[in-house]
Amino acid sequence: MTRQLDEQIAGRFPVGQRLRVLDVGMGQGTQALRLLRAGHRVTGLERDARMLSAAHEALAAEPEGVRERMRIIEGDGRDTGVHFLPGSFDVVLCHGVLMYVEEPDPLVAGLARMLAPGGLLSLLVRNGDALAMRPGLSGDWRSALAAFDTTAYSPEFSTPLEQGGPPPRLGLEMRADRLEALTATLAGIGAPLYAWYGVRVFTDTVPHGTPPPADEDELSALLAAEERAGRTDPYRRVAALLHLCGVRG
């Protein structure tokens, strides 16, 4: 996903431009800190106390010149209008958040309003058209059959990215988004879909906590295969996650 995001930023903004970035549901700040180190000004919005603590701790380890370009706010992504003026950002990230929101359209519309004209909206969502893949490949046939007719799914089949987000309440079913529905939503809020990718096409069934390959050549081949599949039909359509990039008109 990092490579995909960098590709979209490089293709939309001049080299060297210091961008104003909003990371909604920033978690422990992985993407925010990476963009911060690249020279951009980043605002992170997060409501989970555990994640806020981790983000502050990571930021404290950065040089002063980096830290001064970062702002961390405790808050909910649905309240962006309370904290910021419309058009305040060049890039808005919302990664691994919509699966926890019962009604995502108002949140996405609010995020689009934060973008300046030509700004980039980056969404990472659970793929509602591929919910049967993981239980099916794991041999859980009843769960696979049930997944064809729903966009709800159990935390048992969440990805490591989602497991790193706010912990779901016991028994809670999270929700996924379908590409067609999100495409229509983005068009309706004035930030039509510009590009989309699949994420975790081949590796979604790898147990959480499994370390990456120690051999650099093997790791490079794994990443290359995932990146190629993530931009190629029909593979990207059965990815565990979808990365959608909309552009504010």
161-186 pLDDT, tens digit per residue, is 444 444 443 345 699 999 999 999 99
Predicted local distance difference test score (pLDDT) of residue 164: 43
Token output for 11: 């293709």
What was the pLDDT predicted at 156?
A: 60
Of the chain, the percentage scoring pLDDT greater than 70 comes to 92
- Judge residue 34's burial from the number of C-beta atoms within 10 Å of its C-beta, 0-12 exposed, 13-18 middle, 19 or more buried: middle
- The tokens for 175 are 């929700």
- Supply the DSSP string of 32-66, one letter for each residue: HHHHHHTT-EEEEEE--HHHHHHHHHHHHTS-HHH
Which among 102, 121, 98 is positioned nearest to 23, based on CA atoms? 121
The burial of 231, by beta-carbon neighbours within 10 Å (0-12 exposed, 13-18 middle, 19 or more buried), is given as middle
Confidence class of residue 129 from pLDDT cuts 50, 70 and 90?
very high
CA 99/CA 153 separation, integer angstroms: 10
Pairing of strands 193-199, 241-247: antiparallel
Split at pLDDT 50, 70, 90, the class of 148 is very high
CB within 8 Å of 28: residues ≥ 6 apart: 51, 54, 55, 58, 164
Cα gap 217→159, rounded to integer Å:
25
Beta strands in the chain (DSSP E): 20-24, 41-46, 70-74, 89-95, 115-126, 152-153, 174-175, 193-199, 241-247
Q: Match 């909910």 to its residue by tokens.
A: 76
